[in-house]
Amino acid sequence: MSEPTVLISEADIQRRVTELAAQISGDYAGAGEITLIAVLKGAFIFLADLSRRLTVPRRIEFMALSSYEEGSVHSGAVRLVMDLREGVEGRHILVVEDIVDTGRTLHYLIELLKTREPASVRTCALVRKKDRHEVEVDIDYLGFDIPDVWVVGYGLDYAERHRALPYIGVVEPDDQ
């Protein structure tokens, strides 16, 4: 596999995360506590930076879903790997995702959460591959649109590598 080349710099990510946090804080001002639900594993770094810049009361929860096999081969199905520990009835939910690719994961998650009767559900994603969408899904707060390339870093991996990079880079997977 090639070494990553920079697609979105650390400075650009940090600037955009600050903007998103300000926008979210403004939109939810006076709404009471929001529940950030981060989708593991990829969203953990984005969540850490975003949540620390919010100025509204928030709690943090995690779910784990999986849509990819090892490497870059898409399995097609979304699998719930880890559920919430508590109910979310009556809560304002903000789902935090690192990347929206086909849209299947976020769509599955939104539909699942809606059955639990929250007060509201919105979505925040750092990057979106718009050309790859197979399922229509609304992203209320979006960091960046990116082309259809394999991205790593800032939480995103290729076969568990490169998650801790401070920037988002592009690699060419071995199996493409």
Catalytic residue numbers?
101
Which residue type, as a one-letter code, is found at position 165? Answer: L
For β-strands 92-100 and 34-40, DSSP reports them as parallel
**Sole binder of ligand PRP in the list 1, 49, 157, 173 (CB under 6 A):** 157
Total site size for ligand PRP, rule CB under 6 A: 18
Q: How far apart are CA 63 and CA 72, in angstroms?
A: 22
Interaction residues for ligand PRP, span 53-72 (CB under 6 A):
65-68
Helix (H, G, I), strand (E, B) or coil at 112: helix
Of 4 and 42, CB closest to ligand PRP: 42
Interaction residues for ligand PRP, span 71-130 (CB under 6 A):
97-105
Angle between helical axes of 44-53 and 10-27 (0-180°, round to 10) = 50
Determine, following the binding rule CB under 6 A, whether residue 140 of this chain makes contact with ligand PRP.
Answer: no
Q: Kindly list the residues in this chain that would bind ligand PRP in the complex (CB under 6 A).
A: 39-42, 65-68, 97-105, 157
